[in-house]
Amino acid sequence: MEVTKNLVIFSLTVILVASVFNNNILASGEDIGPIEKCLDNCTNSYTLDMCFSDCVKEGFQYAECVVPAPNTPSRCCCFKDVVV
């Protein structure tokens, strides 16, 4: 019985931590529309400015380095609209 209780507590803790982490993934000053296209990984050598330039070249209006899923690297993603 103690093992089951500990397993349930552990599972709920993992879910709570994942949900808190997930809410902060796309936190920014503006609400962004749905991701239209993701390009390269954002790194120290591939910055947000480069990401934005590449997205504009592809015909998009907005770019952001986002983590599309937990435990994945930050990606340069392009958007058509910014919701104000």
Whether residue 26 contacts residue 66, with contact meaning beta carbons closer than 8 Å, is answered with yes
| Matching residue, tokens 């400015």 | 49
Arithmetic mean of pLDDT, 56-73: 87
Retrieve residue 31's tokens: 């609400």
pTM as predicted: 0.54
Q: Could you report the per-residue pLDDT of 14-49, keeping only the tens digit for each? A: 565 555 444 444 444 444 556 788 888 998 899 889
What would you measure as the largest C-alpha separation in the chain, in angstroms?
Answer: 60
User: Which residue range forms the structural domain that includes residue 74?
Assistant: 2-83
Q: How many domains does the chain have?
A: 1
Q: What is the mean pLDDT of the chain?
A: 73
Q: Give the integer Cα–Cα distance in Å for 75 and 30.
A: 18
Q: Give the integer Cα–Cα distance in Å for 69 and 65.
A: 12
Three-class secondary structure of residue 78 per DSSP = strand
Retrieve residue 72's tokens: 């994945």
